[in-house]
Structure 1
């Protein structure tokens, strides 16, 4: 039997519920041990399913927030270089779940690149 740095059986019921609710974050042995420990503690299957449901809802809410995050005027005021760099250079926004930012990036990138090219031409004359 595999032992973990902090043994599964010594964890709180809340921690065990978190383990079984997020299987992608844990290896198979930890999941099995957590499920067995919950059974030993007589935790009802309904409570386990409810914990899994709430964890999935939290993940969905987090994904929704990421997808709807966008650039604001205040980003260009307080961190213009960082925002400009992210718009011009970053290629992973859509892959990382920032759907609205990726759409804004598609619109803003050509405009910013054109402005930068025009500034270089004007200042080199």
Structure 2
């Protein structure tokens, strides 16, 4: 099978990435990348070391994404211009905290509490008016 660009034309760093992360690549590409690394006399320990560096990079990227998700919040203009979306997200997405959206979860909790109190006040006041 021929890949575009061909495996033999790719940079050594890319071949190392392909060889170290076989679950993300076509098995034939992984096999060809390993053969090409042998042809280029890239030692096995160098390939593994590079994979460890790439693994640390991927882990750091996931940590940064998780921190960004935790700080993501509803903005005041979301309630005005995108109310339907915010309302659906607040009422239907019960896994916000589990998914890592800590600030959105807290905002939803406070918003739903305030709305419940307002509904209760309106209900009680309507009973006193009668």
TM-score (norm 1): 0.68
SS of the residue corresponding to residue 42 of structure 1 reads coil
Larger radius of gyration: 2
> TM-score w.r.t. structure 2 length?
0.66
Instruction: Look up the match of 2:3.
Output: 4
Matching of residue 63 in structure 1 with residue 62 in structure 2: yes
* Distance across 1 between alignment mates of 2:9 and 2:78: 49
Aligned-CA RMSD value: 3.2
Q: Between Structure 1 and Structure 2, which shows a larger proportion of helix residues?
A: 2
Say which SS state the counterpart of residue 68 (structure 1) adopts.
helix
Residue deviations 1:36-75, cap 9 Å, x none?
10001100112101110011101110121122223367x6
Structure 1 residues not aligned, in runs of 5+: none
CA distance in 2, matches of 1:22, 1:42: 20
The answer to whether the 8 Å contact 2:72/2:104 transfers is no
Distance 1:94 1:59 in 2: 23
Matches within 5 A, 1:25-64: 25-64=24-63
Unaligned runs of 5+ in 2: none
Give secondary structure in 2 for the equivalent of 1:51: helix
Q: Do the aligned partners of residues 93 and 113 (structure 1) sit closer, same or farther apart at CA in structure 2, a change above 3 Å counting?
A: closer
CA distance in 2, matches of 1:45, 1:54: 14
**Structure 1 residues 24 and 94, CA, compared in 2 at 3 Å: closer, same or farther?**
farther
Are the counterparts in 1 of residues 19 and 30 from structure 2 also a CA contact under 8 Å?
A: yes
Q: Distance in 2 between matches of 1:43 and 1:108?
A: 53
The answer to whether the 8 A contact 1:8-1:16 is kept is: yes
Q: What is the aligned length?
A: 115
